[in-house]
Structure 1
Amino acid sequence: MKQLDVKLYEYLLGKLPEITTSWLAMRKVEKDSIYSLSAHPEMEETLREQNKFTNLTVISSLLDDPEIFEKNKIEWAAVVALSRVNSNTPIEEVIKALSKLRITYWRLIKKFQLVNADEIKLEDYMRWSETLNNAFDQIYISFAETYNEYINSKFDVQQSLINELSSPVIKITDKIGVVPLIGEMDELRARILLESIPEKSLEADIEHLFIDLSGVTVIDTLVAQQIFQVTKVLSLLGTKCTITGILPAIAQASTELGLDFTNIQTFSSLQLAFTKEFLIMEQ
């Protein structure tokens, strides 16, 4: 590591509070942004702490050991990306904030160059430019990748919860349950249905399960196959299954696919099924 690089590293290290203060001073009043000048004081303190981490990461790129920067970059991205996902901060706001921080660095390096003009050559300035700009580019990429991982993970958890709630097994007697399916039924939801309903029925000790499709807006033959598989699994577990609200077109298509529903009770409506099973009295 060149002596001048050590000198710049130590100079920037000693300027950490000034870098953060200069960066925060560039804020403007922005609605619903953690980077807003009008943000809560607690958020400003969080930004100060995280900006210090950002600066330590960027400055570590000046060291001889690239593994130090790489380690810092990964840890920094994990902390800041999670924080921005939790605060619902758009990724473009973070990139904009990092770009402002980059400007702060070059202002300081210009001051450093003025003080050490006799020692600094053009090749030194070019080397720092390449190193620090590359460091910022790398943390942009690392942040974006980690941010997207957190967002996708959060989406998967939410989608799983939605799917879980969209196929409830409701007990109407000690041994009888109903699964009222509502909305669009795609292949993914049908597969989750296959995985969750038999397990829920066992947990609830259901002996007769009614699967009501009357509230389903869209259902195709692939989904019909999954529902047929649900009935087969339930049968193997000793649970009787009745399907209600199935459309004639789907019933016909299912037959053409070789899905034999002849051993499964089907009714045009849940009310009719309950009437036939004497769960409700005919009017």
Structure 2
Amino acid sequence: MSKIDSRLYDYLVDHSNDITDKWLAAREEKKGSVYSADVDESIEELLRKQNRLTNLTVASTLLEEKETFKKQKDQWAREVAESRVDSNTPIHEVQAALRSARTVYWHFVKKFVELNKNEVTHEDIVRWGTVLHAAFDDLNIKFSEMYFRLMMRRLSAQQSLIEELGSPVIPIAASKGILPLVGDIDTVRAKSILEQIPEKCVEAKISHLFIDLSGVSIIDTMVAHQIFQIIQVLSLLGIKSTMTGIRPEIAQTAVQLGIDFSGVDSFSSLQQALGKHSSEKLGE
């Protein structure tokens, strides 16, 4: 690292807090944004801490040891992305804030040039412009990558939860359970139910499952076949199935499709089915 690069590095590090103060002062009030000028003290302190890390990370690109920048860049992206995902901050707001940070940062570089105009050459300015702007670009790219990864992980977890809640097996006794299906069942959801329900029944040691369709309004050809397959799979596992809440239009669909549910107990309501089996001991 050249002597003048070293001096610029020291200057930027020494003025890191000043850079942060100027960046924070440039904020405007924006309702609901983590970057709003009127956020509470705890959020402002978090922004202050993260911007200081931004300043030090960008300055480290002036060092000869390039591995330092890479490590600090990864740390910065992870910390900022995690906090912005937690606060549901849109990615464009982060990019706008980073652009503002870049503008303020370059302002201090220009101040250094003015203070040392007899020593700084045109080549130095061009080099710093290339290196420092590239550092901000790298931060933006790394942040976007980390943000996307975390959001996809969150969406995957939410989807798993939705699927879990969409096909719950509710034990009502030691060996009996209810599968209440609600809403429209499309092919994707039906496939998910087919994959999950047998395993859930085995885990819960269910020997008799009541499949309640009273909350289902529409069943298409593929879904009807999937439900029939679920019953077949459960039968192979030694689990008895009882269908309840079958609406007339659903029954007509099954008949038109030639799906034979004659071997499956069916009742117009869950209450009727449970009443029919009330003579059985629920624990057996």
SS at match of 2:85: helix
Deviation at 1:200, TM superposition (A): 2.6
**Other-structure match for 1:216:** 216
Gaps of 5+ in 2: 280-284
Counterpart secondary structure, 2:178: strand
Distance 1:186 1:56 in 2: 52
Alignment CA distance shift 1:5-1:225 (3 Å): farther
Residue in 2 aligned with 1:50?
A: 50
Code of the aligned partner of 1:123:
E
Could you say if the C-alpha distance between residues 264 and 65 of structure 1 is closer, same or farther in structure 2, counting changes exceeding 3 Å? farther
Instruction: Report deviation, 1:223.
Output: 3.1
Residue 214 of structure 1 aligns to a residue whose secondary structure is strand
* Pair 1:251-2:254 in alignment: yes
Cα shift at 1:128: 1.0
Matched with 1:84 is 84
Give the deviation of 1:86 after TM superposition. Answer: 0.7
Residue-by-residue CA offset, 1:42-91 (whole Å, 9 max, x unaligned): 11111111111111221122223333322222221111101011112121
Instruction: Go from structure 1 to structure 2 and tell me whether the alpha carbon gap of 1:117 and 1:249 turns closer, same or farther (over 3 Å shift).
Output: farther
Give distance in 1, aligned partners of 2:201 and 2:167: 12
Deviation at 1:105, TM superposition (A): 1.1
1:209 CA displacement: 0.8
CA distance in 1, matches of 2:59, 2:256: 65
The equivalent of 1:177 in structure 2 is 177
| Cα 1:253–1:164 shift into 2, 3 Å | farther
What is residue 18 of structure 2 aligned with on the other side?
18
Native 8 Å contact 1:61 1:132 kept in 2:
yes
- d(CA) in 2 for partners of 1:186 and 1:73? 44
Aligned to 1:40: 40
| Count of residues in correspondence between the two structures | 276
* SS in structure 2 at match of 1:248: helix
8 Å contact kept, 1:221–1:253: no
- The answer for unaligned runs of 5 or more in structure 1 is none
Contact 1:179 1:210 in 2 (8 A): yes
**Match for residue 161 of structure 1?**
161
Are the equivalent residues in 2 in contact too, given 1:186–1:223 (CA < 8 A)? Answer: yes
SS of 1:197 mapped into structure 2: helix
DSSP 3-state at the match of 2:211: strand
Identity, in percent, stands at 49
In structure 1, give the amino acid aligned to 2:175.
K
- Give the whole-Å Cα distance in 2 for the aligned partners of 1:252 and 1:71: 65
1:103-124 per-position Cα deviation (integer Å, ceiling 9, x unaligned): 1111111111111112222221
**Aligned residues: CA RMSD:** 2.4
Aligned amino acid, residue 144 of structure 2: A
SS of the counterpart of 2:168? coil
Q: Where does residue 125 of structure 1 map in the other structure? A: 125
Mapped to 1, the partners of 2:264 and 2:66 lie a distance apart of 66
Where in structure 2 are the equivalents of 1:227-246 lying within 5 Å? 227-244=227-244, 245=246
Alignment of 1:102-117 (within 5 A): 102-117=102-117
- 1:20–1:48 contact (8 Å) kept in structure 2: yes
Aligned residue in 2 for 1:195: 195
Q: Over residues 233-266 of structure 1, what are the superposed CA-to-partner deviations in whole Å (9 max), with x where a residue is unaligned? A: 21122111123326135424653xxx66454334
Which range moved further: 95-104 or 167-176?
167-176
| Shift in alpha-carbon separation, 1:16–1:235, aligned structure 2, 3 A | same
Normalising by structure 2, what TM-score? 0.87
Deviations 1:198-248 (A, max 9, x none): 233234332211212232244333333433332232112211112332613
More displaced, 199-208 or 161-170? 199-208
The whole-number CA distance in structure 2 between the counterparts of 1:19 and 1:188 is: 52
